[in-house]
Amino acid sequence: MRPKNMLSLPLFTLLVLTGFWIGASPSAIGAEDPELTLRIGDQTQVFKRSELLQRKDLKHLDLANNPAYPGQKMSFSAVPVAALFEKLKIPNDVVIQFKCLDGFSAPISKERLLNTNPAGSIAYIAIEEADKPWPALKAGKPSAGPFYLVWPDTALSHISAEEWPYQLAGFEVKGTLESLYPQIFPDAKLPASSPAKLGFAVFTKNCFACHTLNKAGASQMGPDLNVPMNPTEYFQKPALRKLIRNPQSLRFFPRSLMSSFPKEMLSDKDLEKLIAYLEHMAKRKQLN
């Protein structure tokens, strides 16, 4: 997962891979009019901040809490993500992956990201206005801008903290998750209802944003979770549960980058499924 108060994955699926790219260059943070760029193959579309703020679909969102600014009530000017993609044809089986300027990168569910059904959570690109800068993430650090993925009504689709990337550098449409990262998949022969198979979905949503597994994945934030050793091989289960719930409760380390997973974010059942997946993958190491 991403460092505390520095949001990072979809959880489930990086818009930054085989042809479609939406990005903000590192220089965009200090630019007078930062740009958000959409690219498909050799086609590129650039949205300047000033242009986004003039869109008819611009909304003002009041969010009482969000991962970049926990406990703070924030007002954002934002446009629906789906509206930026509406003229683009995206295949059903592709992976969308996001990448942030601090290196945080992960796949995010295309269905969730581009949802327009009010029965589910709808994603927005929040835009930091030049005359209304957002607070610094912490002392001496920049803000979450110039672009930040935010979700009103998170409960509708059970949106996790890892699905709020800030300081967005881009999105890219890639191949399928299995074609990109086959090393992270459990044994195909397992029944769909097996704990390990169910735990795989928990892993991709909550862990794959910051950790690789079998050296597969885009993030460089946390250690690999299978090689050379899987955490189930050196932690007893009670200790591993404590580590995932609250890393500081197991090993006090003020500079730890790993944030907590309370029960409202990760249920006890999902935690056990995640551990079952890790136990299964400990027998499926790919060292090369």
Rounded distance between C-alpha atoms, residue 17 and residue 6, angstroms: 23
The per-residue pLDDT for range 38-74, each reduced to its tens digit, is 666 566 677 899 999 999 999 999 998 899 999 899 9
More confident residue, 97 or 60: 60
Q: Percent of the chain, pLDDT > 90?
A: 45
The encoded tokens of residue 285 equal 């190491």
Token match 């969000």: residue?
66
- Helical segments of the chain, H only: 49-52, 81-85, 110-113, 177-180, 195-206, 231-234, 237-245, 247-250, 268-281
The predicted structure's pLDDT at residue 258: 76
DSSP 136: P
Provide the pLDDT confidence category of residue 166 given band limits of 50, 70 and 90: very high
Q: What residue type is assigned to position 44 of the chain?
A: T
Residues 6+ apart with CB under 8 A from 116: 80, 82, 122
Rounded distance between C-alpha atoms, residue 39 and residue 42, angstroms: 7
Distance of CA 261 to the CA centre of its chain: 15
Q: What residue type is assigned to position 233 of the chain?
A: E
The per-residue pLDDT for range 236-280, each reduced to its tens digit, is 999 999 999 988 888 888 767 677 788 877 899 999 999 999 999
Check whether domain 183-281 has CATH 1.10.760.10, yes or no: yes
The per-residue pLDDT for range 25-38, each reduced to its tens digit, is 443 445 688 887 76
Beta strands in 25-122 (DSSP E): 35-40, 43-48, 59-63, 74-80, 96-100, 105-108
Number of Cβ within a 10 Å radius of residue 198: 19
Can you give the residue ranges of every domain in the chain?
20-177, 183-281
The encoded tokens of residue 40 equal 């498909």
Average pLDDT estimate for 190-195: 96
Phi, psi of 220 (to 5 degrees): -125, 20
Rounded distance between C-alpha atoms, residue 232 and residue 212, angstroms: 16
Token match 């932690």: residue?
235
